[in-house]
A = this chain, B = another copy of it.
Amino acid sequence: MPLDLSRRSLFTGAAGLTVSGLAAAGLSSCSQAATGTTEAAFPPGAIDPYLLGPAEGVALLSRNENPYGPSQSALDMIEYAATKGAYYANQEAAVMLMEMIAERNGVSPEQVVLTTGSGEVLSAIAVLYGPRGPIVAPRLFWDTTALYAANLGMAEIQRVPLTDAMEIDLAGIEAAVTPDTGLVQLCNPNNPTGLVSDPATFQAAVRRMAATTTVLVDEAYIELSDDPEANSCVPLINEGHDVIVTRTFSKIYGMAGIRLGYAIASAETAAAIRPVVMSWSPCTSYAAGIGCYEDQAFIDFSKAKVTEARDMVFATLDTLGLEHLPSQTNFVYFKSGLEANAVQAAMAERLISVRGQYMDYNEWTRVSMGKIEDVQRFCHALPEVIGA
């Protein structure tokens, strides 16, 4: 049966008003919406990119995702899985992907928990550990999943201020940990700062804290960092420390719409997390992961595009004399000197979507890398927006 073109036309924007209406009604059935900030409020009649994805004419630089994905290797496998066995709920692809992830990370498949996006496994971890005591975390981190549990009355978040350099205050967090702590949650590289902690210092602190409580390290952006292997805490798991690492196919792999993520932990911890996970992922998503997990050419290409875009943004910020953090991710956090929400609104008028204010960091803006031409639009608009 050929595609109904009227449906195609809806996909490309004709349904905008209706969708905007539903967006206004808060209709997302997704619990993963970022809560630390909101996306741009576009002018009336424009399309809300949060619900519609990258609409024609909108530079979507608010999502930390990779517009060059999914890779052809992932797309091929989605098609294969859909036509081969999507009529039965099956996990053949899940098991194979668990084996691939295990092999690459030097763990056993029993230590891998695959979920519908890493948000799901992070939420499950928050539900599992939240009732044991406070979740200790930096003031700024990707808090959506901790808030998921908090909103259900199952967790409390204890935030520790960042250092003056906007880094995670590892000493401060360590000082906050007690035997009553439910979980320490760190994001490395951190979001929205884009900063990677010094590996030796970070891992030493994680080892010490893991003697007292469970330490969760969200490595959503690790593949984008300068030295992913050195930065990762996966080796600590096999050293026997009480550490959980989560990863995602949403960022470097460009599959945010496919929803695939995973946790690596001890076999015992993985077995405790699994019964809390609420969904079972599509075979198409597992297959996509199999297709691209080892696609180094695509990873290298994506990282090169991110680096190119990031260098453009750094150059623009330097020219304007604006303070910015040395990001090792696909987003840059910079101090515009203006209210973040005003910067967001001014960019939105130009159909450029960036993040608004996080917590009380009112003069800081997070801009994501995206298609090179979209990042160029941001760089051209910025001087005007800040009145330079």
A interface, CB within 8 angstroms of B: 1-3, 7-8, 10-11, 15, 18-19, 22-23, 25-32, 50-54, 60, 63, 65-73, 75-96, 98-99, 109-110, 113-117, 119-120, 123-124, 127, 148, 151-152, 250, 254-259, 271, 274-285, 288, 290, 295
Contact = CB atoms under 8 A, between A and B. Distances in A.
A275 B152 contact: yes
Nearest to A88: B53
B89 A256 contact: yes
A284 B258 contact: yes
Nearest to A121: B29
A291 to B, nearest CB: 8
A31 B86 contact: no
A269 to B, nearest CB: 13
Contact of A95 (B27, B256, B276): B27
Contacts of A11: 80, 84-85, 92-93, 96
The interface centre, meaning the residue of A30, A76, A110, A152 with most chain B CB atoms within 10 A of its CB, is: A30
A127 B275 CA distance: 13
A280 B98 contact: no
A90 B280 contact: no
18 contacts: A7-B290, A11-B80, A11-B85, A11-B96, A18-B95, A22-B95, A29-B277, A30-B280, A65-B87, A65-B89, A67-B87, A69-B87, A82-B284, A88-B257, A116-B116, A259-B282, A279-B279, A284-B284
Given A88-B256, A284-B284, A78 B76 contact: no
A70 B82 contact: yes
A179 B310 CA distance: 60
Given A76-B3, A93-B11, A278-B279, A60 B88 contact: yes
A89 B259 contact: yes
A258 B31 contact: no
A124 B99 CA distance: 30
Contacts of A53: 85, 88, 90, 92, 283
Contacts of A86: 69-70, 254-258
B51 A68 contact: no
A148 B276 CA distance: 8
Contacts of A18: 95, 99
Contacts of A92: 11, 15, 19, 51-53
A294 to B, nearest CB: 10
A152 B276 contact: yes
A93 B95 CA distance: 28
Contacts of A110: 22, 25, 27
B51 A70 contact: no
A254 B152 CA distance: 34
Nearest to A285: B282
A256 to B, nearest CB: 4
A110 B69 CA distance: 31
A95 B277 contact: no
Contacts of A148: 275, 278
Contacts of A277: 29-31, 278
Given A63-B88, A88-B63, A95 B278 contact: no
A115 B29 contact: yes
Those 3 A-B pairs whose CB atoms lie nearest each other, nearest first: A53-B90, A86-B257, A116-B279
A272 to B, nearest CB: 11
